[in-house]
Amino acid sequence: MTLQTPLEPKPDKMSRSSLIWRKFKVLFQVWLAHMTAYRGEIIIWMLVGMVPLIMMGVWIGKAQANGGSQGGFDSADFAAYFIGTWLANQMTVVWIVWEMDFQIRQGTLSSKLLRPIHPIWEFFASHVTERFVRFPPVFALIGVAWWLAPKGTVLTPDLTHFLLFLLSITLAFLIRFTLSSIFGTLSFWTESSTALDELYYVLAIFLSGTFAPLEFFPKVVQDVVQYTPFPYIISYPVQILTGKLPDSRLLEVLGLQCLWVLAFGVLAAWLWKIGIKKYGAVGA
């Protein structure tokens, strides 16, 4: 029988929650320092993803050649849409599948399994802290793009739409993160998990609204895409930002985004649970 001395602190919910908070605080501090050291590389990758801004010039040119508008969008509408699209793409960048694939195949995941925190939180911390390094140059380039855009370009009608956009794009990031986590967990069984993410990227360029607003796609394509996560990652958040999404659909879009996060999160957790058993069984 073990007696607890009066000087020995008793564990309680507050101390456990404080311990968890300290763990996450240190984790995020470490990854923020790591990402700050690679800020030059982050800026390079940020500039690589300039496709929406290139497409902005293409569609503005088409609108001007068509008498000032194209499919209900004038030059200012196209500028606002594609600046918003570029911003949404920058805020939903995810590379977890590459990290998981490398660490599982090389066995470096083993040491992280010994830590008192799930490896997924380290991946998550790296993505979140990277945004803090990415945001300053992103908003600087948005300012330049807006300055070069046609006169009358309004990125967002008011503060409310911007705040709702921040909520929607956070859910969009979680959709992308959990979906990519699913691809990453497949590395327990296959060496082609990164190929699946590359396939997703190719499809997303077209079906998320990066190349063109979804309104320009055939009706049958628009109807089918609604049952995929693609428009909920880029198109709908941008519509919220620019004020193009009807208020009557706002709760529906946010609710469906939450459902996608939940569905992908549960599937990723289940695949991790059975995959980690296989990983351990082969001596990792």
Spatial distance between the Cα atoms of 97 and 180, rounded to a whole number of angstroms? 6
Calculate the CA dihedral of residues 162, 163, 165, 167 and round it to 10 degrees. Answer: 170
> What's the whole-number mean pLDDT along residues 189-194?
84
How confident is residue 5, by pLDDT bands cut at 50, 70 and 90? Answer: very low
Q: How far, in Å, are 18, 196, 266 from residue 263 at the CA level?
A: 30, 18, 5
> What's the whole-number mean pLDDT along residues 161-171?
97
**Residue 12 pLDDT > 70, yes or no?**
no
Query: Domain residue spans in the chain?
Result: 42-281
pLDDT of residue 146: 86
**Residue 17 pLDDT > 80, yes or no?**
no
Q: Long-range pairs for 160-164 at CB < 8 Å and ≥24 separation? A: 161/240, 161/241, 161/242, 161/243, 162/241, 164/240, 164/250
**Residue 280 pLDDT > 80, yes or no?**
no
Comparing 97 with 17, which gets the higher pLDDT? 97
pLDDT of residue 254: 97
**Residue 86 pLDDT > 80, yes or no?**
yes
**Residue 269 pLDDT > 80, yes or no?**
yes
- Percentage of the residues of the chain whose pLDDT score is greater than 90: 53
pLDDT of residue 1: 44
- Mean pLDDT for the chain overall: 87
The single-letter code of the amino acid at 48 is V
Q: Which residues lie closer than 8 Å to 151 by C-beta, 6 or more apart?
A: 76
pLDDT of residue 3: 46
pLDDT tens readout for residues 99-137: 999 999 888 898 888 888 889 999 999 999 999 889 889
Query: Whole-prediction pTM value?
Result: 0.88
**Residue 196 pLDDT > 80, yes or no?**
yes
**Residue 14 pLDDT > 70, yes or no?**
no
> What's the whole-number mean pLDDT along residues 245-259?
95
Residue 176 is inside which H or E element, if any? Answer: helix 159-185
